[in-house]
Amino acid sequence: MGDLRAYVQKTKATYKGKVDPLPEFKQSPPYAYAAMDVRDPFKPVVDIEVFSGPYRGPRPDENRPREPLEEFSLDSLRMVGTLAQNESEWILIKDPDGLLHRVSIGHYMGQNYGRVTAISEEEVTLVELVSDKGDGWKERDASIALSE
Protein backbone atom coordinates (compact mmCIF):
# COMPACT_ATOMS: atom_id res chain seq x y z
CA MET A 1 0.00 0.00 0.00
CA GLY A 2 2.95 2.30 0.57
CA ASP A 3 3.81 2.21 -3.15
CA LEU A 4 0.26 3.17 -4.03
CA ARG A 5 0.17 6.09 -1.58
CA ALA A 6 3.52 7.36 -2.90
CA TYR A 7 2.27 7.17 -6.48
CA VAL A 8 -0.94 9.05 -5.66
CA GLN A 9 1.00 11.80 -3.81
CA LYS A 10 3.50 12.12 -6.68
CA THR A 11 0.64 12.34 -9.22
CA LYS A 12 -1.21 14.97 -7.17
CA ALA A 13 1.96 17.04 -6.84
CA THR A 14 2.80 16.81 -10.54
CA TYR A 15 -0.63 17.53 -12.05
CA LYS A 16 -2.20 20.63 -10.64
CA GLY A 17 -5.41 20.76 -12.65
CA LYS A 18 -7.25 23.93 -13.34
CA VAL A 19 -10.77 23.94 -14.71
CA ASP A 20 -11.83 26.84 -16.89
CA PRO A 21 -15.05 28.54 -15.84
CA LEU A 22 -18.19 27.68 -17.78
CA PRO A 23 -18.88 29.96 -20.74
CA GLU A 24 -21.72 32.41 -20.47
CA PHE A 25 -24.69 31.72 -22.70
CA LYS A 26 -26.48 34.53 -24.44
CA GLN A 27 -30.20 34.62 -23.84
CA SER A 28 -32.13 34.49 -27.13
CA PRO A 29 -35.41 36.34 -27.46
CA PRO A 30 -38.43 34.00 -27.66
CA TYR A 31 -39.82 33.26 -31.14
CA ALA A 32 -43.50 33.88 -31.71
CA TYR A 33 -45.08 31.39 -34.14
CA ALA A 34 -47.55 33.38 -36.20
CA ALA A 35 -48.63 30.80 -38.82
CA MET A 36 -51.80 29.62 -37.11
CA ASP A 37 -53.79 29.28 -40.35
CA VAL A 38 -51.12 27.14 -42.10
CA ARG A 39 -51.05 23.31 -42.05
CA ASP A 40 -49.54 21.83 -38.89
CA PRO A 41 -46.07 20.51 -39.88
CA PHE A 42 -46.31 17.71 -37.33
CA LYS A 43 -49.46 16.13 -38.79
CA PRO A 44 -49.24 13.76 -41.78
CA VAL A 45 -50.09 15.10 -45.21
CA VAL A 46 -52.13 12.00 -46.11
CA ASP A 47 -55.33 11.33 -44.22
CA ILE A 48 -54.55 8.12 -42.35
CA GLU A 49 -58.21 7.29 -41.74
CA VAL A 50 -58.64 6.62 -45.47
CA PHE A 51 -56.23 3.67 -45.21
CA SER A 52 -57.45 2.34 -41.91
CA GLY A 53 -59.13 -1.03 -41.69
CA PRO A 54 -57.88 -4.58 -41.95
CA TYR A 55 -54.89 -5.22 -44.22
CA ARG A 56 -55.99 -7.13 -47.32
CA GLY A 57 -52.70 -7.56 -49.19
CA PRO A 58 -50.35 -10.54 -49.33
CA ARG A 59 -48.91 -11.85 -46.10
CA PRO A 60 -46.79 -14.84 -45.09
CA ASP A 61 -48.48 -17.93 -43.69
CA GLU A 62 -47.13 -18.07 -40.14
CA ASN A 63 -48.88 -21.39 -39.44
CA ARG A 64 -47.14 -23.49 -42.10
CA PRO A 65 -44.03 -25.45 -41.08
CA ARG A 66 -40.78 -23.86 -42.21
CA GLU A 67 -38.74 -25.74 -44.82
CA PRO A 68 -34.98 -26.40 -44.47
CA LEU A 69 -33.93 -24.00 -47.27
CA GLU A 70 -35.72 -21.07 -45.59
CA GLU A 71 -32.86 -20.62 -43.13
CA PHE A 72 -30.48 -19.56 -45.92
CA SER A 73 -30.44 -16.37 -47.98
CA LEU A 74 -31.08 -16.81 -51.71
CA ASP A 75 -27.57 -15.51 -52.45
CA SER A 76 -26.05 -18.50 -50.69
CA LEU A 77 -28.14 -21.14 -52.51
CA ARG A 78 -26.96 -22.66 -55.82
CA MET A 79 -29.01 -24.49 -58.45
CA VAL A 80 -26.90 -27.43 -59.60
CA GLY A 81 -29.27 -29.47 -61.76
CA THR A 82 -32.73 -30.77 -62.60
CA LEU A 83 -34.51 -34.09 -62.21
CA ALA A 84 -37.53 -35.45 -64.06
CA GLN A 85 -39.45 -38.65 -63.48
CA ASN A 86 -42.74 -39.42 -65.22
CA GLU A 87 -44.74 -36.18 -64.93
CA SER A 88 -42.77 -34.72 -61.98
CA GLU A 89 -39.95 -32.19 -62.26
CA TRP A 90 -37.52 -31.08 -59.56
CA ILE A 91 -34.48 -28.91 -59.28
CA LEU A 92 -31.44 -29.64 -57.15
CA ILE A 93 -30.39 -26.84 -54.81
CA LYS A 94 -27.08 -26.91 -52.94
CA ASP A 95 -27.05 -25.08 -49.59
CA PRO A 96 -23.94 -23.43 -48.05
CA ASP A 97 -23.27 -26.58 -46.01
CA GLY A 98 -22.94 -28.61 -49.24
CA LEU A 99 -26.19 -30.56 -48.85
CA LEU A 100 -28.42 -31.15 -51.89
CA HIS A 101 -32.16 -30.49 -51.66
CA ARG A 102 -34.84 -31.58 -54.13
CA VAL A 103 -37.26 -28.71 -54.76
CA SER A 104 -40.41 -28.44 -56.88
CA ILE A 105 -43.11 -25.84 -57.51
CA GLY A 106 -44.79 -24.76 -54.27
CA HIS A 107 -41.76 -25.34 -52.03
CA TYR A 108 -40.28 -22.45 -50.04
CA MET A 109 -36.70 -21.23 -49.85
CA GLY A 110 -34.83 -18.11 -48.82
CA GLN A 111 -35.34 -15.90 -45.78
CA ASN A 112 -38.09 -13.77 -47.37
CA TYR A 113 -40.80 -16.44 -47.60
CA GLY A 114 -39.80 -17.26 -51.20
CA ARG A 115 -42.26 -19.67 -52.85
CA VAL A 116 -41.15 -21.50 -55.99
CA THR A 117 -43.48 -20.60 -58.86
CA ALA A 118 -41.68 -22.03 -61.90
CA ILE A 119 -38.75 -24.29 -62.69
CA SER A 120 -36.83 -24.87 -65.90
CA GLU A 121 -33.52 -26.43 -66.86
CA GLU A 122 -31.84 -23.01 -66.58
CA GLU A 123 -33.39 -21.40 -63.50
CA VAL A 124 -35.91 -21.50 -60.67
CA THR A 125 -38.32 -18.58 -60.25
CA LEU A 126 -39.70 -17.50 -56.87
CA VAL A 127 -42.05 -14.92 -55.43
CA GLU A 128 -40.78 -13.46 -52.15
CA LEU A 129 -42.76 -11.51 -49.57
CA VAL A 130 -40.91 -8.50 -48.18
CA SER A 131 -42.13 -6.09 -45.55
CA ASP A 132 -43.03 -2.62 -46.79
CA LYS A 133 -41.79 -1.11 -43.50
CA GLY A 134 -45.35 -0.76 -42.27
CA ASP A 135 -47.95 -3.37 -41.47
CA GLY A 136 -48.07 -4.65 -45.04
CA TRP A 137 -46.13 -6.92 -47.35
CA LYS A 138 -45.35 -6.76 -51.04
CA GLU A 139 -44.40 -9.44 -53.51
CA ARG A 140 -41.01 -9.41 -55.23
CA ASP A 141 -39.84 -11.70 -58.04
CA ALA A 142 -36.55 -13.52 -57.61
CA SER A 143 -34.70 -16.32 -59.37
CA ILE A 144 -31.69 -18.58 -59.05
CA ALA A 145 -29.89 -19.54 -62.28
CA LEU A 146 -28.13 -22.82 -62.93
CA SER A 147 -24.52 -22.67 -61.65
CA GLU A 148 -21.83 -23.60 -64.15
pLDDT tens-digit map of 40-72: 778 777 655 555 556 667 888 888 899 999 999
Out of 25-29, 30-34, 47-51, give the one with best mean pLDDT. 25-29
Let me know if residue 131 belongs to a domain.
Answer: yes
Let me know if residue 48 belongs to a domain.
Answer: no
Going along the chain, which residue ranges are E strands? 78-85, 88-94, 100-103, 108-109, 114-119, 123-131, 137-145
Let me know if residue 5 belongs to a domain.
Answer: no
User: What distance in Å separates the CA atoms of residue 133 and residue 146, rounded to the nearest whole number?
Assistant: 32
81 and 92 Cβ atoms separated by less than 8 Å? yes
Out of 99-103, 128-132, 143-147, give the one with best mean pLDDT. 99-103
Let me know if residue 146 belongs to a domain.
Answer: yes
More confidently predicted of 23 and 58: 23
Let me know if residue 52 belongs to a domain.
Answer: no
Rg (CA), the chain: 32
Let me know if residue 8 belongs to a domain.
Answer: no
User: What distance in Å separates the CA atoms of residue 31 and residue 130, rounded to the nearest whole number?
Assistant: 45
User: What distance in Å separates the CA atoms of residue 78 and residue 109, rounded to the nearest whole number?
Assistant: 12
**3 state DSSP class of 32:** coil
Let me know if residue 94 belongs to a domain.
Answer: yes
Query: 127: domain CATH number?
Result: 2.30.30.830
Query: What pLDDT score does 87 carry?
Result: 84
- Domain coverage including residue 101: 69-148
Work out how many domains the chain is built from and give that number.
Answer: 1
- pLDDT for 68-97, tens place per residue? 999 999 999 999 988 888 888 899 999 999
Let me know if residue 143 belongs to a domain.
Answer: yes
